Copies of this chain bind each other. A is one copy, B any other.
Amino acid sequence: MEKLDYAAQDKWPRVSGNMQSPIALSDDLVVKNDFQTALSFNYNHIANYVRDTGAGIEVGLKGQAQLGNRPFSLKQFHIHTPSEHTINQQSYDAEIHFVHEAIDGRLAVVAAVVRAGNASATYDAVLQHMNETTNFEIPVNDIIPEDKEYYHYIGSLTTPPLTENVEWYVLKTPVTLSQEQIANLMIFYSHNNRDLQSLNDRTIVSSN
């Protein structure tokens, strides 16, 4: 047995980059969860900015959420087109990321995939206030599905700095934008989804 060299700590190998997002989610890969961790959301209905960050359209919305049995604060939400995660080999038209932070700095992202269907009043409000810094009302509830079953795994931010400390909660039930709204969204970004990353030895947990 070779002893670890505490006199050469600056030479110790440091592993990172093996827990990146997005990933291909699949029911074939999941481990069922064995404790109750229902997600709940208490988001504001007043947003305070819409901006194009260069990585996507981002909306300033605050609020609270209970994720994995702990309180988190919503920082903002933003939209990727098409979806970043795939679910059972299926890609979606878009993916909305609700970015949260806990008191200890832990980041958690709730993702809602989007398919074409009914128009979203929230998206209309966002579009009307594009590049404005002003308070405006949004319903929000039309971009969060009623059924909050989810896939959970530990991954990363999907844009630089790609920080690997992120809890992901990808909602299984899609929400909808109209075909027209999706086409409008793609005027801003036709392709701001990061490539799928390797799962490596991570576990995907399912809420049911």
Contacts and interface: CB of A to CB of B under 8 A. Distances in A.
A31 B194 contact: no
Given A4-B160, A15-B163, A104-B203, 4 more contacts: A1-B52, A9-B195, A14-B160, A104-B153
Interface stretch (A65-73, A89-97, A132-140): A65-73
Interface string A1-41: 11110100100111111010000000000010111010000
Contacts of A194: 6, 9
Nearest to A12: B160
Contacts of A193: 6
Given A12-B160, A16-B16, A16-B164, A4 B103 contact: no
A152 B1 CA distance: 33
Contacts of A70: 35, 37, 68-70
A68 B20 CA distance: 24
Given A4-B54, A164-B164, A103 B17 contact: no
A35 B203 CA distance: 28
